[in-house]
Amino acid sequence: MPESISSARTSSPAIAEWLLARVTDPTRAAAIMGDLTEMAATRGRLWFWTAYARTLITLGWRAPVAFLCAYTYARSTWQVTALIASMHALFHWVPFASPAYRLPIWQLRLEPLLSMLSGLNFLVPFLLVRFGLRDRLTRLAFVLYLVSLPTFSNRLLLLAPIEILAVIVVVVALCLRGWRRPLVVLALCLGPWYALVEAIQYSYQPGHRALFGAYHPFLFNYYTLAFIVTALLCIWLHRLLLRQRPAIA
């Protein structure tokens, strides 16, 4: 019995340190746990868990707040309507192409851009709140978002320039050493998002396949799942590939 109690007490700090390492890096989590454990020797276990909870909230609030902000932004029909209206007003001077020139390839080229926009529509506010504008992944996503926004204008003549600009951004990121990993992380986040969205869309009636149209009530949980998967994947990949490793003395 005493051994089981001792093992339980030993496992509790281990779990606490593991959870703390999820919102920061393992080295910093170990240092924080060491400081809290040392001070708890004179202040008691109640103080330890209170200070631990306060530290956990202080270090980990950005992720849930970022998700709520991005989810609210992406699911709000008013912001999509405002973006579409602004793009139509901004590019009103570009003529609509005649329906006779809208070949099937038009739709095949438009859907990937709209899918990328739908992913960036969630990722950009999420990255802005979670990592800030100084983060390279945030900057890269924001630039691609601005480049692809004219797709909302539904002007066929703008499709080629948008594609060319997007390709230029990708090529420049590949050529610059410091931007390759952010590009890989962004692609790995948008890839599953695109797959989830396409699977959701083609599972329902054709009338509910518009990426930015009114969402069907039954799609609510599925799109929420896509948002959660994308956010968790983004945080994990950022920690794995983009977080700076502490210098080894």
Question: How confident is the model at residue 182, as a pLDDT?
Answer: 95
Instruction: Give pLDDT tens digits along the chain (249 positions).
Output: 444 434 434 556 778 778 877 777 777 778 888 888 888 888 888 888 888 888 888 888 888 999 999 999 988 888 888 888 898 889 888 877 655 555 555 556 677 777 788 889 999 999 999 999 999 999 999 999 999 999 888 787 788 888 889 999 999 999 999 999 999 999 999 887 777 766 766 655 455 444 444 444 444 566 787 888 889 999 999 988 887 654 444
Q: What is the predicted pLDDT for the residue at 153?
A: 84
Do 20 and 32 touch, CB atoms closer than 8 A? yes
Neighbour count for residue 16 (Cβ, 10 Å): 21
Residue 8: per-residue pLDDT: 38
pLDDT the model gives residue 32: 85
CA 225/CA 221 separation, integer angstroms: 6
Q: Is residue 153 a contact partner of residue 87, using CB atoms and an 8 Å limit? A: yes
Give the side-chain half-sphere CA count within 13 A for 210: 9
Q: What is the pLDDT of residue 105?
A: 58
pLDDT at 215: 45
pTM (2 d.p.)? 0.77
> Which pLDDT score, from 0 to 100, does residue 169 have?
94
Burial class for 20, CB neighbours closer than 10 Å (0-12, 13-18, 19+): buried
Contact 185, 238 (CB under 8 A): yes
Residue 69, pLDDT score: 93
> Which pLDDT does position 124 carry in this prediction?
95
Distance between CA atoms of 147 and 160, rounded to whole angstroms?
A: 12
Residue 222: per-residue pLDDT: 67
